[in-house]
Structure 1
Amino acid sequence: MLSLRHPLLSSALLFALQLLPNAYANNTPNALTSKLAATLVQTEIQQNQDALTYANYTEVSVSHVELALDVDFKQSRLSGEVTLDLAWHKAGKILILDTRDLTINSVTALDNAGKWQSIPFTLAKTDEVRGAALTINFTEQNTQKVKINYHTSDNPSGIQWLTPEQTQGKQLPFMFSQSQAIHARSWIPLQDTPAVRQTYSATITADKAITVVMSADRKTLSNTQTQFTMPQAIPAYLIAIAAGHLTFAPLNDISGVWAEPELIDKASQEFADTPKMIEIAAKRYGDYRWGRYDLLILPPSFPFGGMENPRLSFITPTVIAGDKSLVSLIAHELAHSWSGNLVTNATWRDLWLNEGFTTYVENRIMEDLYGRDRALMEQTISYSGLLAELTELSPRDSVLHLDLDGRSPDEAFSGVPYVKGQLFLVFLEHKFGREHFDAFVKNYFNHFAFQSITTTQFREYLSLNLLQKYPKIVSEAEVDNWIEDEGLPSFLVPPNSHAFDDIDTQRQAWLEEKRSTDKLKTGTWSVHQWLRFINEMPRINLNQAKLAELDKAFHFTGTGNSEIAFAWYSLALDNGYYAVLPALKQHLTNIGRLRLIVPLYQKLAGTDQYDWAKNVYLNARPGYHPQTQASLDDMFADTPLEHSH
């Protein structure tokens, strides 16, 4: 490591060193080159550019978070204290943390004599995106520990409280967190930026009938207390908690499923291939480094398909289809164990480093487990979805290295970082060949393990370890086009699955009335082929009678497969086929997954069914997650709504 006393290095630059490639970090002071110094400066500047945090983390960073919280379902509140261990990168007395809608009761600090002393603090005015800065003024320089007593609001942006009636079993309440992107600050005062990694521990107290789980090692202390330990350093958005009527089913010695009792059998059967996925991914990309990999099946109000919290991925029940047709989502969350959790985007404008790599790795896992045909079908469906989404996104949001320009990072989560990022990596794979590219990706994960990096750092590593190593194959200009330019490169070769050829032929014959519905040969079609059949139908002026004919033959309306339901309802609304409305109401009311409901509300809001949609939303809204509410409130702004973040 570079000497802490080297005259060329400020403390902030030394902090930045941990984010640099190991090849740099292992140099001696005398070996510093101008390139290294420039890289250090650039890294510091980039880290300071995380405009979504108030934290002064280049001066002092949190190295460990210790929670002691009570879960209070009566008041819908988490209350207790957090103790933060601090690592100082320069002499100082000020610590600035991120909060959102927290009540801070007191702040104490451990003084040089080993005693806890009350410390002054100020809580700033609330910013709509970033929340409120908590500034703590220490009496001694470089204080090592600070303790904050606090409680959450009754509707924090990162926590949902569910009544018993909103759960599967209808007996006990349920609570779960969703900390990504910057919602950890709504239930813990901390440095809520992916640039800072910390270990954490927790002691959680809840009613004896309630089971508590977190993204950490779990140990039962008593019938009301559970202890958790996360020994690997992670960014704040991966700290997660859930509590409710939960039971556990093992899949093997390091993997299993948590779910409400009513779902545990279905879930464990649906996700039985998870251990195989772990084995496949570890063989291709290096050891699985997180100990356990369990799944938590959340209530349907969970706003996302999954959340990659280490050791315990949170999963929507909407992927329990009964035939393992939607388990690519499990492969995706598992893939985050390497891309995202192990190597993390340092700011949210670098989100594609998390999601593009993960979508790429997910598809490779699916190919190894279920074959090339399925992997290509999933690639092709994703590509078609991206093309449709690009027609609705502003051009600036089609850039991989996204400029958020003060907006909420939640707005970065389009198909661009996922699918365009994946397509970029597939492009590199095709150009350099799988043997070379697989080695590059594996080395990339090992090189930056447990670090948060920027797009600039990725590009330096890519240039050194692929572009220069195998010259005249891919140019820096082509990389620029992928990462910094709008839209998709003109030289992109789209994915194409020949498994869809017959589906496309039959659809066209049906549209041209050359083949009747009863003559369509669909007996062997997979879910992905059905999705292709529906998604590529005309979006306007499709004959209502023909839609009714399809519905009667294949029973799309009311289907239990969430992806087919979404595809069918989208097609129906685009063509004004409102016979689906009764079933659509159930779809919109029973699930809260953003991707499966927000586009349908958007389609309805632009038609004469606006009032119908608004009524459905107002009735369903109490069961939606705060982040889902925030996504939809503006759509129905002509009706007064309780404020949500």
Structure 2
Amino acid sequence: MKKALLLLGCVILLFSSCQKAKKQTPLMTYIEEPHSFAKPNEAVITHLDLDIKVDFDTEIISGTASYLINNNDASEIILDSKFLEIEKVQADGTDTNFKLGAFDSQLGNPLKIAIKPETKRITVFYKTTDKTEALQWLKPQQTADKAQPFLFTQGQAILTRTWIPIQDSPQIRVTYNAKVAVPAQLMAVMSAENPKTKTADGVYNFKMTQPISPYLIAIAVGDIAYKPISNRTGVYAEKSMLDKAHFEFSDMENMVASAEKLYGKYAWEQFDVIVLPPSFPFGGMENPRLTFATPTVIAGDKSLTSLIAHELAHSWSGNLVTNATWDDFWLNEGFTVYFEMRIMEALYGKDRANMLARIGRQDLEEELEGLKDSPNDTKLKLDLNGRNPDDGMNSIAYDKGYLFLRTLEETVGREKFDVFLKNYFESHAFSTTNTEKFIKYLNENLLEKNGITFNTEEWIYQPGIPENQAIIVSDKFEQVESIVQDFVKTNNIDQEKTNNWTPQEWVHFVRNFPEDMNTEQMQLLDSTFNLTNSNNSYIAMVWYEQAINHDYHGNNVDEKIETFLTEVGRRWYVSTIYKAFKRNNKTDDALVIYKKARNNYHSVTVNTIDAMLGFVSE
């Protein structure tokens, strides 16, 4: 009997030891990364319940962020917080100790919360402040309809921590529910299941059942309406923009269907787009189920909708399979540009896709020239330790990443490459990966499997562009270049040859003006084609850049440039123009405009232009 009891005791002890060992083993191993204070291998969030009020009078969001957590026998859990007022914290419904660590200008503060090994839920009571960087509060006059205020967020890369205390690392994935109270005359939408009409009381409830990275949690609040395109696609916009947006994006369902044929089923049920006010700092942001888009893509002819194809492609590369750290950002964007081009080719033909790819190749050359004094920044795999991850969000990740993948495709053959990519997305769905893991997967599942040798390490870990790069050819662009050359020689241009040009051809035409083109020639082109008053924002942007480069002041172009910079907040567009001012020793002229325009820009754009122009706020 004693032996039996002893044996039973040993079994119980062994079982409890195993249970304890099992508890101390995290569900997954997280990579240490420099842009988050979180220690997810000790305690990690898995689900968020958000309950907030949006107050336009005070420009404050307040409420609670409550998290389910996986706890590896830890005594504390660390969240990221920046410019937030933390009122109190609870662990399993009871007040617990918390501490904000030292402030870092890029990362904010670590929010250290005392927990017990058995703690399952933490709740943070908090408010945003007037320093919150993710939020942009807009007055009615800054919107399209100019009747009601507007609010939107931009979380990428590390700004979600400025409106929600959270473990703000891309490798952490959470599901979430949200209850959001807004003024009754406005509608709230999020990167989640969304309403199609306004509620009577201004209270909205949201669910995101698929796990997403924190930078993809997003909200917009405004006087908006919804118009469906298909049973799974549609657009939100202010009333004056709704029909325009619906026409512009009417191919969205075809885009989704084309994408699914390439790389598998769309995993997010709904693909909607919201057109935001013009201060939105990016062309688009791929928030799951609800892409945020700039109104600068509304051209009236669907000519700039490759941006929508790009954001749709992120539903696979970025949202479904996510870069584990911002050093691996090319895994999000290089794959997405490649996928975007394949969607555009499927819908609009190879000529259109190659024109877009050629423009991207030109952007890459410009980026390489700009980074010639910091060659390490031209590698695909970056080292952003101690730097803002926005420093890596440039043409290297997008266009060098694309060129690497296109070169791979041409090396192994499209059929094999498509099978590889489809399997890659399916096998890594709802997970994160890094560059080293991708290389291993590439070698095992494509290169070694097919006996192919490829200089992957050179492409990823060395600066510049390897010699074995795909050559992107566009017959239409070659014809455009010929017309530019003829014009420079003769001051004549055959307008009939330009009658059916796409905006991409016009952009290529303007971008290829030689440095010695004189102001008389600029005036002649402007008089012939009225480029200063172009309704296409992309054409206008490159024309304004050339006007500054060539010291051209005709047709009220200076006033048009100022209006453009004051009304448009898309970072790529405004930074291109401010950069032209700086390059041509006209920084003082740029600063005069910037001081007027700065308050209309999101913090993402402000930070870029402040640094570019050396602006210090008074």
C-alpha distance in 1 between matches for 2:431 and 2:578: 39
Give the deviation of 1:223 after TM superposition. Answer: 2.1
Q: What amino acid maps onto 2:161 in structure 1?
A: R
For 2:601, the equivalent position in structure 1 comes to 624
- The SS at the match of 2:484 is helix
For 1:195, the equivalent position in structure 2 comes to 171
For 1:95, the equivalent position in structure 2 comes to 77
Give the deviation of 1:11 after TM superposition. Answer: 7.3
For 2:543, the equivalent position in structure 1 comes to 568
Does 2:337 match 1:359? yes
C-alpha distance in 2 between matches for 1:426 and 1:117: 55
121-130 vs 363-372, which deviates more?
121-130
Give the deviation of 1:4 after TM superposition. Answer: 13
Which of the residues 290, 295, 300 maps onto 1:317?
295
Does 2:322 match 1:339? no
- The SS at the match of 1:175 is strand
Does 2:592 match 1:615? yes
Q: Contact 1:506/1:520 (CA < 8 Å) preserved in 2? A: no
- The SS at the match of 2:546 is helix
Does 2:527 match 1:541? no
Alignment of 1:176-575 (within 5 A): 176-219=152-195, 222-393=200-371, 394-471=374-451, 473-475=452-454, 478-513=455-490, 516-518=492-494, 521-538=497-514, 540-575=515-550
C-alpha distance in 2 between matches for 1:11 and 1:544: 73
Output one character per residue of 1:39-81: Cα deviation in whole Å (capped at 9) or x when no partner. xxxxx5xx11x11000011111110011000000011111001
Which of the residues 35, 57, 78 maps onto 1:74?
57
Give the deviation of 1:532 after TM superposition. Answer: 1.3
C-alpha distance in 1 between matches for 2:355 and 2:610: 35
C-alpha distance in 1 between matches for 2:265 and 2:284: 22
Q: Contact 2:26/2:42 (CA < 8 Å) preserved in 1? A: no
Give the deviation of 1:519 after TM superposition. Answer: 5.6
- The SS at the match of 1:557 is helix
Q: Contact 2:35/2:385 (CA < 8 Å) preserved in 1? A: no
Q: What amino acid maps onto 2:73 in structure 1?
A: A
Output one character per residue of 1:361-402: Cα deviation in whole Å (capped at 9) or x when no partner. 000000000011101111111101111121002211110011
Q: Contact 2:77/2:114 (CA < 8 Å) preserved in 1? A: yes
- The SS at the match of 1:212 is strand
Cα 1:483–1:13 shift into 2, 3 Å = farther
Give unmatched runs, 5+ long, in structure 2.
1-14
Give the deviation of 1:535 after TM superposition. Answer: 1.2
Q: What amino acid maps onto 2:61 in structure 1?
A: L
Give the deviation of 1:622 after TM superposition. Answer: 1.1
The number of residues matched between the two structures is 597
Cα 1:375–1:637 shift into 2, 3 Å = closer
Q: Contact 1:310/1:341 (CA < 8 Å) preserved in 2? A: yes
C-alpha distance in 1 between matches for 2:153 and 2:313: 21
Give the deviation of 1:596 after TM superposition. Answer: 0.2
Give the deviation of 1:498 after TM superposition. Answer: 1.3
C-alpha distance in 2 between matches for 1:15 and 1:457: 18
- The SS at the match of 2:117 is coil
- The SS at the match of 1:439 is helix
- The SS at the match of 1:361 is helix
Give the deviation of 1:606 after TM superposition. Answer: 4.2
Q: What amino acid maps onto 2:123 in structure 1?
A: K
Does 2:553 match 1:578? yes
Q: Contact 1:108/1:117 (CA < 8 Å) preserved in 2? A: yes
Q: Contact 2:182/2:203 (CA < 8 Å) preserved in 1? A: yes
For 2:38, the equivalent position in structure 1 comes to 55
For 2:87, the equivalent position in structure 1 comes to 105
C-alpha distance in 2 between matches for 1:572 and 1:198: 48
- The SS at the match of 2:532 is coil
C-alpha distance in 1 between matches for 2:614 and 2:421: 46
- The SS at the match of 2:28 is helix
C-alpha distance in 2 between matches for 1:228 and 1:576: 52
Does 2:137 match 1:161? yes
Which of the residues 128, 140, 155 maps onto 1:152?
128
Q: What amino acid maps onto 1:453 in structure 2?
A: T
Output one character per residue of 1:273-302: Cα deviation in whole Å (capped at 9) or x when no partner. 000000110111111110101000000000
Q: What amino acid maps onto 2:87 in structure 1?
A: N
Give the deviation of 1:10 after TM superposition. Answer: 8.9
C-alpha distance in 2 between matches for 1:237 and 1:557: 37
C-alpha distance in 1 between matches for 2:425 and 2:394: 24
TM-score under structure 2 length normalisation: 0.94
- The SS at the match of 1:482 is helix
Cα RMSD, aligned residues only: 1.8
Output one character per residue of 1:235-294: Cα deviation in whole Å (capped at 9) or x when no partner. 000000000110111001111100000100000000000000001101111111101010
For 2:10, the equivalent position in structure 1 comes to none
Give unmatched runs, 5+ long, in structure 1.
18-43, 111-115
Q: What amino acid maps onto 2:525 in structure 1?
A: L
For 1:602, the equivalent position in structure 2 comes to 579
Q: Contact 2:320/2:431 (CA < 8 Å) preserved in 1? A: yes
TM-score under structure 1 length normalisation: 0.90
Identity %: 41
- The SS at the match of 1:200 is strand
